[in-house]
């Protein structure tokens, strides 16, 4: 299921159900060390995606330090440029960048509160498109995210 398909389904559920119920629409997928195209990153990928093309992840970038990245083959079609994230009490709109049509990202050094929220132990995050050609919302699990992200952070050099 692509991010758009999942987002449309979740958006419909959000309109008819409580937020807690809507969060249960995607089976929990704990954060793991990713392989293949995302080798070196940690993240969570859609349970319906055997190829790990729809993922939320943190990786180390030589230029920017820790980076939060969204991977989905349909991102280019969505025109996603900004997203609003909610992680527990944390709520923030983030401008996303990316030169590839299937990736959007931002440096966590520019968003330290976002990194704190990701590693706070909160179990679930939601994301809503803000500036996109396709309106959607989705959610992703944060199970095991704090330990996995800290492990990447320990080996990641801060940008100079």
Confidence bin at 117 (pLDDT 50/70/90): very high
Task: Please indicate whether residue 149 or residue 53 has the higher confidence score (pLDDT).
Answer: 149
> What pLDDT is attached to residue 5?
42
Taking only Cα atoms into account, the Rg of the chain, rounded to an integer number of angstroms, comes to 15
Domain range summary for the chain, segments of one domain joined by +: 3-154
Name the least confident of 8-12, 24-28, 39-43, 85-89: 8-12
In SS3 terms, the chain reads as CCHHHHHHHHHHHHHHCCHHHHHCCCCCCCCEECCHHHCCCEEEECCCCCCCCCEEEEEEECCCEEEEEEECCCHHHHCCCEEEEEECCEEEEEECECCCCCEEEEEHHHCHHHHHHHCCCCCEEEEEECCCCCCCEEEEECCCHHHHHHHHHHCCCCCC
Q: Is the dihedral of CA 14, 118, 147, 74 positive or negative?
A: positive
Confidence bin at 134 (pLDDT 50/70/90): confident
- The reply to whether CATH 2.60.40 applies to domain 3-154 is yes
19-77 pLDDT, tens digit per residue, is 332 333 456 688 999 888 888 899 998 766 556 678 899 999 989 999 999 998 888 88
Name the least confident of 29-38, 46-55, 126-135, 147-156: 46-55
Confidence bin at 135 (pLDDT 50/70/90): confident
């Amino acid at each position: 299921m692509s991010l758009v398909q999942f987002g449309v389904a979740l958006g419909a559920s959000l309109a008819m159900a409580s937020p807690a119920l809507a969060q249960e629409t995607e089976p929990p997928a704990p954060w793991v060390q990713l392989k293949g195209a995302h080798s070196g990153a940690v993240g969570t990928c859609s349970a319906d995606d055997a190829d790990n093309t729809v993922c939320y992840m943190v990786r180390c970038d030589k230029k920017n330090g820790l980076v939060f990245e969204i991977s989905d083959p349909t991102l280019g079609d969505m025109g996603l440029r900004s997203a609003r994230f909610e992680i527990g009490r944390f709520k923030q709109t983030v401008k996303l960048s990316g030169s590839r049509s299937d990736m959007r990202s931002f440096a966590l050094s520019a968003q330290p509160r976002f990194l704190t929220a990701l590693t706070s132990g909160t179990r679930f995050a939601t994301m809503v498109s803000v500036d996109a050609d396709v309106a959607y919302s989705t959610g992703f699990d944060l199970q095991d995210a704090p330990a996995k992200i800290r492990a990447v952070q320990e080996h990641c050099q801060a940008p100079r």
